[in-house]
Structure 1
Amino acid sequence: MRFVNDRTTNAFRPLIFKGRGTSSNEVGRFEHLTREQVDDGWGTLDEDLPPLRTEVTLDATRSIINYNESPDIPFDRSINAYRGCEHGCVYCFARPSHAYLGLSPGLDFESKLFVKPDAAALLRKELAHPKYRCAPIAMGTNTDPYQPIERQYRATRQILEVLAECKHPVTIVTKSALIERDLDILGPMAKLGLAHAAVSVTTLDRTLSRHLEPRAAAPQRRLETIARLTEAGVPTTVMTAPMIPALNDNEMEAILEAAHQSGARSAAYVLLRLPHELVGLFEEWLQLHVPLKAEHVMSLIRQSRGGKAYDSTFHKRMQGEGLFAQMLAQRFRLAVKRLGLQDRSRLDTTLFQPPRDNSLQMDLF
């Protein structure tokens, strides 16, 4: 963490980048060298840095569908059109993935982004493969498909256009109102049983949300998005995620109630996950924003993770274990039952049609 000298009090204060979730940029776990700032004698470390700009790099990936065999998630394939996420959610479990790029899971994750401009073309090619077998594709599993740069690059919309053309089922998780832009695609797909959306609502407290997820939509705006998705006929789940002990878990029932009133048909939750570098980043955030709660929050997290900050064991990583985790699960079950948030509709895979290759001659008849 970087500190600057506050000359009015002759004390040191942490440097917080406005609109960013983290305050440090420690190197990733695979790097052999670390960075350290040194004063050159001109007092440069006492100066505030300019606003941190978002940089976007084109990602020349050669495949777009990611497959997994995880037994505790309800899908076996996903698409991520972007690497990194400008929403800057401090708790994002995907932050450590930036280390694979030689970048920091801290500020780099939210300011050095990668877009896959050929995503739609790659998807068309993979769906056309003779051995491809249709199953729902999940979007938003690693980074938000509707983060701010989607307005410019439209990679998510182009992917949806291919999926709609092929009548291929899709699920989307987001915390952005930008998904409403694509209701002209998602609405008709939903009528065919091909689309399902999930909106993440972490807290109803605007101040807490601004600190936790600085560039995501405000809580009330997300509830409005749930309502508009529902009005368009898109089945929508509310994700009360992540639930952070002693910070936002007390809001679980209120979030579910508000989402139900907005039209949500089902619900899910995830206990805070802190893999790899995320532990240090989150502890740093606690000390900056809620120092009096920091020790208590981490204590409850460790109680729910077998004494560690995180346990990646399948079937435990999402909900945890121990008394606190059991209580949270029981509260969720009771609230979901009371509100009727138990829709179990399935997506239709029987309508899938491989994309046409426009480079070929007309079909024989």
Structure 2
Amino acid sequence: MGKQFAKKCGGLPLALIVLGGLLSRKPMNSVAWSRVMQTMDWGTDGEECTAVISTSYEDLPFALKSCFMYFAAFSEDEEIYVESLIRMWIAEGFVPQGENKTLEGIAQSFLEDLAQRSMIQVSKRSFDGSITFCRMHDLLYGLAIQKAKEDNFLMACSKINDVQNCSQTRRMAIHDDSWKISCNLKEAHAAKHEMEELYGESMASKTPNMRSLLSFRLIPKVSQLKHLKVLSHKRWARVDLYEPEMFGRLNQLRYVELSLEVDRNKDVYNFQKFISGMRFLQTLDLSGGPICDLPDCIWYVKTLRHVLLPDYSWHALTSGPLPSAALVNLQTLSGVTNR
């Protein structure tokens, strides 16, 4: 039977590796392996690799399928920081609550399962053996993109037209190399203006049910995306903070990762209103930007699990939680001082 499997894989290393990962999750007997063999109705002419990774995907439990498709939100060949990925999974509700494990611990076991199946590649582990960085082979990444699109799970945008055609999507990723523009200065300025108009003004109307937004470029008027749960922007950005009366709509946000530029003289009030509307926030990661003062009300959000603020020795650090705050779920706190 092993020789039959090898022949089916056509000698392709990735196909053999992924198939080995799939079989490692099955009982080691001929009955279980025969069932796998029966599902392998593959074509020829180089289709073996695509077929075996599709078979391995179909074998995933439901929750793991969502976790696998979520990799489409990242750029191809990107080395992914696992702590951020896990926190996004939890914010999305992919990770079920367990009796004797934290949500983060269960999510780590999900990652280990994907690694065991060779659906992801482990780049680095910590001293305790847990995965800290991972990446995905380009063929598996292509499968994640394909399945996410087929299931209307997530749209990975590579050009402006993609944004216009994703009105039904609930998750969107704007990749770093998605908005290449002409070297001609005049054309570049016009293209940038077009992007800002489309991406800023009309995204909310085109994607009213947006649940997750991962972007390396512009930030739209987030106050209009009232169903948003995950907001991640990895470069410095000025979020539109000039509609404070709309920020109460953002009470679904669970995960916020921003390299936020806040003008202390103009934006402080609106920024504090922006933060205070997040009643179910789990992760607040502002570590990539300048220092910004948090409103005291943030420390009374009982769902808070991770708060990461800038930690620069040449800045005054943000004051930490109030003594009266009951942060029963808090696991990570950085960039703050004692009161």
Bigger helix fraction: 2
Q: Does TM, scored on the shorter chain, surpass 0.5?
A: no
TM-score (norm 2): 0.28
Larger RCO (alpha carbons 8 Å, 6+ apart): 1
TM-score (norm 1): 0.27
